Structure 1
């Protein structure tokens, strides 16, 4: 099972052009402890990221910056320094030097015009805390593997700044509980 999840935020991209013509976009892919609503498999839940959740991944992994989660449209990567990622007091900040390609030019113009202003990121959750005291559970991601950051045109939930998911941890928990109930009923 692919446990990759994605999240999207709106109006988080800034763009600049240096004197030498180098074009850079920057912003935040994640903001710490910002509670967002996520549509899970069986119910909605809230989610937030703890400061430092990506610290190990930023050291160990090679992240990419993609155009709309498309792995054939790589705009930069950490391995060669064209994508820089850092955790600060606000969140996970990115800075990307756009390539001098047709895609790079198109991305620059789309962001500059305001046609694209969303940011998304793909991750795999490693550990989390789940607080079910309220009527809507709160999942705090304490450690995650960051796979990619993307510029996106259509965040699925622009009002809550969070979008669709590829993996739902509550679905797994439900399936485990369902299996236990079936076993107990057959005893």
Structure 2
């Protein structure tokens, strides 16, 4: 019986604009992230809820040219947060990604029109973390379970079991 403990998708889509706080338009240039040696995958940007890490080999990141920053993460279903993530992502309740970074180089464009927002392009940045989130700032990002083409019913049973384990762990901690 195959178990699915991996999630995959695009944490960043290059050259795709998004509006940040109704204050400016932002996009990430291809190749903006140079050093990907120690990046953590978090649940909802919470540093106390790590799911995977490049340093441990449980998170893989790959620059896909003009498409974006692709990722794959092997999650531990014994970790209650990872079990919750597997369930929520598997059901597509959580389907977006976000990322935390430190800008090293950027370019700004100031529009001529008073009504238009300024635009920022991130040219170079240190990527600190990627996070599975419900409401991503970049709606073009995505995350989903890495689907096994064989034995889908086993995958569905495993996802349901992961959800039950997560709920039991939360009950033990007094979380409803």
Question: Could you tell me which residue of structure 2 aligns to residue 74 of structure 1?
Answer: 50
Deviations 1:126-171 (A, max 9, x none): 110111134321111000010001111344x6xx639xxxxxxxxx
Aligned-partner SS, 1:100:
coil
> Matched residues in 2 for 1:36 and 1:152: separation?
16
> Structure 2 vs 1, CA of residues 37 and 154 (structure 1 numbering), >3 Å: closer, same or farther?
closer
> Matched residues in 1 for 2:81 and 2:111: separation?
47
Question: Could you tell me which residue of structure 2 aligns to residue 122 of structure 1?
Answer: 100
Deviations 1:62-119 (A, max 9, x none): 1100011111111110001100011112001110001131322221111111221121
- Structure 2, gaps ≥5 residues long: 141-176
Q: TM-score, normalised by structure 2?
A: 0.70
> Matched residues in 1 for 2:38 and 2:33: separation?
12
> Matched residues in 1 for 2:91 and 2:54: separation?
27
Question: Could you tell me which residue of structure 1 aligns to residue 18 of structure 2?
Answer: 36
Q: TM-score, normalised by structure 1?
A: 0.66
Question: Could you tell me which residue of structure 2 aligns to residue 145 of structure 1?
Answer: 126
> Matched residues in 2 for 1:63 and 1:50: separation?
19
Paired residue total: 135
> Structure 1 stretches (4+) deviating beyond 6 angstroms?
none
> Matched residues in 2 for 1:52 and 1:97: separation?
24
Aligned-partner SS, 1:62:
coil
Match of 2:9 among 22, 27, 34: 27
- Structure 1, gaps ≥5 residues long: 1-18, 163-187
Question: Is 70-79 or 110-119 further displaced after alignment?
Answer: 110-119
> Matched residues in 2 for 1:37 and 1:72: separation?
28
Match of 2:60 among 78, 84, 109: 84
